Amino acid sequence: MIEVYFTPTPNGHKVSIMLEETGLPHRLLKMDVLAGDHLTPDFRRINPNGRLPAIVDHEPIGGGAPLPVFESGAILLYLAEKSGKFLPENPRRRSQAQQWLMWQMASFGPMQGQAHHFIRYAPEGQTYPTERYRNETVRLLHVLNGRLSEADYLAEEYSIADMAAWPWARAVQLIGLTLDDYPAVADWFARVGERPAVIAGTDVKNAANLASARPVLTEEQWSNLFGKNMLAAPTR
Ligand SMILES: N[C@@H](CCC(=O)N[C@@H](CS)C(=O)NCC(=O)O)C(=O)O
């Protein structure tokens, strides 16, 4: 049994999609980041970085004590290794899957994540950072569109690279961008979105599952995500 410390965000959905795709037995433990569920010393023993998602595999590859795994990209690689699925065997395609997974982890997720912060959470009127991170997201969407104009999937066959990028492609609507401007991305997004495991893993039919465009946070919730409570957590 794999325990998944989960929140229904793009990084969380990468893992829930992969678990649905592979059918590996698992249990989702829903964490409320607004309430600060992820700021506890107990959770830091599972993820020293104190972020979601994280998993604990109680029957890890190679046996031994339960294995905690953090960072969504590392979790996808671990689950691919455990299941023997969705990381291509062919060395060229395997490398492509790893390259696009790293691209998502280093760029498409973090840059867009900053765009979400400045557009949706920061006090309004932050023109420079808003433009900087939205422009970078637009540039990355062009990169993704270029790749998907030459291949049906990021590694030619459906892989963990697609599972990593898809939830972040879905999230661009929340920062005022549309996939209609990137036809190859839009085609791929629709194709991947029809997969039963993607529907089950993200509950895409339920629009309420997407966070609101500009959430209103209480002082405590703000502190848990961006302020004193967040800063205090690693020292506790
Ligand atoms: N690079 C990490 C990013 C994890 C991350 O930032 N997770 C968000 C949810 S998507 C989180 O835990 N947010 C809570 C917070 O910022 O306090 C990964 O891919 O796992």
Instruction: At 214, list the tokens.
Output: 């500009």
Q: What per-residue confidence (pLDDT) applies to 88?
A: 98
Beta-sheet strand order (sheet of 67-70): 26-30, 2-6, 54-57, 67-70
Sign, CA torsion 72/76/81/87? negative
Whole-angstrom CA distances from 136 to 119, 142, 188 are 14, 10, 21
- Distance of alpha carbon 187 from alpha carbon 203, whole angstroms: 20
pLDDT value for 132: 97
User: What integer pLDDT is reported at residue 73 of this predicted model?
Assistant: 98
What's the CATH architecture for 91-203?
A: Up-down Bundle (1.20)
What is the tens place of the pLDDT at every residue in 62-98? Answer: 999 999 999 999 999 999 999 999 999 999 999 999 9
Give residue 10 CA to ligand 1 midpoint distance, Å. Answer: 9
pLDDT of residue 234: 86
Task: Find how far residue 55's CA is from the centre of its chain.
Answer: 14
Ligand 1 proximal residues by C-beta, below 6 Å: 7, 9, 11-12, 33, 38, 51-52, 71-72, 225, 230
Give me the residues paired with residue 68 across strands.
56
pLDDT digits (tens, 9 = 90+) for 202-229: 985 554 555 667 888 999 999 999 999 9
At 59, give phi and psi (nearest 5°).
Answer: -130, 70
Q: Which atom of ligand 1 is nearest to the CA of 53?
A: 20
**What is the predicted pLDDT for the residue at 215?**
85
Mutation pick for ligand 1 pocket among 13, 43, 52, 69 (CB with most ligand atoms within 8 Å): 52
Which residues of the chain are modeled with pLDDT < 50?
207
The CATH class, in words, for 2-85+211-235 is: alpha beta
Spatial CA neighbour of 13 closest among 171, 236, 181: 171
Omega within 30 of 0 (cis) for the link into 129: no
Q: Which pLDDT score is estimated for 235?
A: 84
Using the structure block, give the residue that is written with the tokens 């965000």. Answer: 9
Instruction: Compute, in angstroms, the gap from residue 96 CA to the centroid of ligand 1.
Output: 25
Residue with tokens 């291949």: 151
- Atom in ligand 1 nearest the alpha carbon of residue 39: 17
pLDDT of residue 214: 83
In angstroms, rounded to a whole number, what is the distance separating the alpha carbons of residues 221 and 34? 5
Residue 236 has what pLDDT? 79
Q: List the chain domain ranges.
A: 2-85+211-235, 91-203
